Chains A and B, each alone.
Chain A
Amino acid sequence: MIKVYTSSVIDASADAVWAQVRDFNGLPNWAPFVAESRIEGGLPADRIGCVRNFRLKDGGTIRERLLTLSDYDYQCTYSILESPMNVDNYVATLKLTPVTDGVRTFAEWWAEFDCEPQRESELAEFVGQRVFQAAFDSLKAAFRR
Chain B
Amino acid sequence: MIRVTRSAIIDAPIARVWAILRDFNSHTAWHPVVAESSIENDEPSDQVGCVRNFTLRDGNHIREQLLTLSDHEHVSTYCILDATIPMRRYVATVRLKPVTDGARTFWHWESTFDAPRGREQEFADLVGKGVYEGGFAGLRSYLQRGGALRARGAETTDAIPSRGVVVSRFGGPEVLTAATLAAKPPASGEVRIRHTAIGVNYIDVYVRTGRYRMLEPPAPPGMEAAGMVIDVGDGVAHLLPGDRVAYVAPEPGAYVDVRTVPAAHVVALPDDVDEESAATLMLKGLTAEYLLHRTHRVGAGDTILVHAAAGGLGSYLCAWGKALGARIVGTVSSPDKARIARDQGCDVAIVADSGAFADAVLSATGGRGADVIYDGLGGPSHAENLRALAPLGHWVMHGQAGGAHGTLVLGELGAKSATVSAPVLFHYTASRERLEAMASNTFDAFRRGILRPSIRHRYPLASAADAHRDLESRRTTGQLLLFP
Say yes or no for B447: interface residue by CB 8 A criterion: yes
User: Which of B435-456 touch A at CB < 8 Å?
Assistant: 444, 447-448
User: Which of A85-122 touch B at CB < 8 Å?
Assistant: 97-102, 104, 106, 108, 118, 121
A5 engages B100 (CB within 8 Å): yes
Segment of B4-12, B223-231, B296-304, B313-321 engaged in the interface with chain A? B4-12
A99 engages B7 (CB within 8 Å): yes
Say yes or no for A53: interface residue by CB 8 A criterion: no
B101 engages A7 (CB within 8 Å): yes
List B contacts of A6 (CB < 8 A): 100-101
Partner of A100, one of B8, B97, B447: B8
Output the nearest chain A residue to B9 by Cβ-Cβ distance. Answer: A9
Partner of B7, one of A98, A133, A136: A98
A100 engages B5 (CB within 8 Å): yes
Question: Which of B5, B8, B97, B106 neighbours the largest number of chain A CB atoms within 10 Å of its CB?
Answer: B106
List B contacts of A121 (CB < 8 A): 444, 447-448
Partner of B98, one of A7, A98, A128: A7
Count residues of chain B with CB under 8 A from any CB of chain A.
19
B101 engages A9 (CB within 8 Å): yes
List B contacts of A108 (CB < 8 A): 97
User: Which of A28-66 touch B at CB < 8 Å?
Assistant: none
Q: How far is the CB of B414 from chain A (nearest CB, A)?
A: 45
List A contacts of B97 (CB < 8 A): 7, 106, 108
Output the nearest chain A residue to B6 by Cβ-Cβ distance. Answer: A100
State in angstroms the CA–CA spacing of A22 and B136 once bound together. 30
Q: A7-B106, A106-B106 are in contact. Are A100 and B7 (CB under 8 A)?
A: yes
Partner of B106, one of A97, A102, A133: A97
Say yes or no for A83: interface residue by CB 8 A criterion: no
What residues of chain B have their CB less than 8 Å away from a CB belonging to chain A? 5-9, 97-102, 104, 106, 108, 133, 136, 444, 447-448
Pairs across A and B, CB under 8 Å, 28 listed? A5-B98, A5-B100, A6-B101, A7-B98, A7-B99, A7-B100, A8-B99, A9-B9, A9-B101, A9-B104, A97-B106, A97-B108, A98-B7, A99-B9, A100-B5, A100-B8, A101-B8, A101-B9, A101-B133, A102-B8, A106-B99, A106-B106, A108-B97, A118-B448, A121-B444, A128-B100, A133-B100, A136-B101
What residues of chain A have their CB less than 8 Å away from a CB belonging to chain B? 5-9, 97-102, 104, 106, 108, 118, 121, 128, 133, 136
